[in-house]
Amino acid sequence: MHSQTILITGGLGQVGSYLTDRFCTDNRVIVLDNTSSPCRHDVPAGVQLVIGDIQGPEVVRLVEQADVVIHTAAQIDVNRSLDQPLFDCENNILGTLNLLEAARRTNLERFVYFSSAAIYGDTLHTPIEEDHPAQPLSPYGVSKLTGEQYALMYHRAFGLPVAVLRPFNIYSPRQDPSNPYSGVITKFIERAKAGQSPVIFGDGQQTRDFISVHDIVDLVELLVEKDEAIGRVFNAGTGTQTTVNRLAGIVQEVFGSDRALEYREARAGDIRHSVADISAAQGLGFVPQVFLEDGLVEFAGE
């Protein structure tokens, strides 16, 4: 890959920070972040940090300098989107549109848009392929889907080289444990570190497709490199489903605990089964590398 100037929105966040670390070794990286939910406050040497919002006018100047835009910045809290749908809409839809408008008349080589598996809503079948009906259950899901639609329209109408990814359940040691809406892995690990057993909502037989942030970064690299990715949508998962019970067992193993698991009432609106069909990503050469067991070991060292 030749050296490029890469603008990473949300570059201080859970995913953006790992993208920054990977891309900055061979490229010029500019991070744009409004510091609303940073998982770190600094960037590696040589990376330019711009504190600002994706809705601001400065994105024009930043996008003009870039060869590639990787757009991860978003309001990511499903519950907050239910409480404040307008806030979610402004951030995610208008913010994305502002970036796309800035990109419209440039010679960008790639615009990578981070969507979410939340766009699917209740699943009719698994594994979930990209053509599965999109029936989001939250304003967040609607805002992510709308962002996708705008991005793909900018490809069709204006030739912008857009690629979209729909991450399933991403995990990394940089997810903020103090956030009440952090994912189940972060929750289980925090409890394990405090000598407590995992709390399982429902019978624990519900499944998810847990994907390491390192695999997400690999897939983004492919979306940037491969021209076949342009104008298309890719599920970002491992294709493997894991029950919440099994996850709890692995966390207990990694932390050497044999306490009894705690079961509580199922969460309202919880989706029963979720696993990605990743044949589209595999067609680009994507091979998930991180087994859940190994990915969780990384947390033990934190």
Binding site residues, ligand UD2, CB under 6 A:
78, 116-118, 169, 183-184, 187, 199-201, 206, 208, 244, 267, 270-271
Nearest 5°: the CA angle 120, 6, 81 is 30
Closer CB to ligand UD2, residue 105 or residue 267? 267
Answer yes or no: 120 catalytic.
no
Closer CB to ligand UD2, residue 216 or residue 222? 216
Closer CB to ligand UD2, residue 108 or residue 128? 128
Closest approach of ligand UD2 to the CB of residue 139, in Å: 12
Which residue carries 């037989």 as its tokens? 205
Q: Which residues contact 131 (CB under 8 A, 6 or more apart)?
A: none
Backbone angles phi, psi at 162, to 5 degrees: -90, 145
Kindly name the residue from 18, 113, 140, 171 that is annotated as catalytic.
140
Closest approach of ligand UD2 to the CB of residue 200, in Å: 4
CA distance 276 to 286: 13
Count CA atoms within 13 Å of residue 286 on its CB side.
Answer: 33
CA distance 110 to 9: 14
CB atoms within 10 A of CB 107: 8
Closest approach of ligand UD2 to the CB of residue 120, in Å: 7
Closer CB to ligand UD2, residue 58 or residue 270? 270
Closest approach of ligand UD2 to the CB of residue 296, in Å: 14
Closest approach of ligand UD2 to the CB of residue 40, in Å: 19
CB atoms within 10 A of CB 264: 9
Q: Are strands 68-71 and 48-51 parallel, antiparallel or unpaired?
A: unpaired
Closer CB to ligand UD2, residue 116 or residue 212? 116
Tell me the residue nearest to ligand UD2 as measured from the CB.
183
Q: Which of these, 201, 302, 300, 203, lies nearest to 252 by C-alpha position?
A: 300
What amino acid positions are annotated as catalytic residues? 140
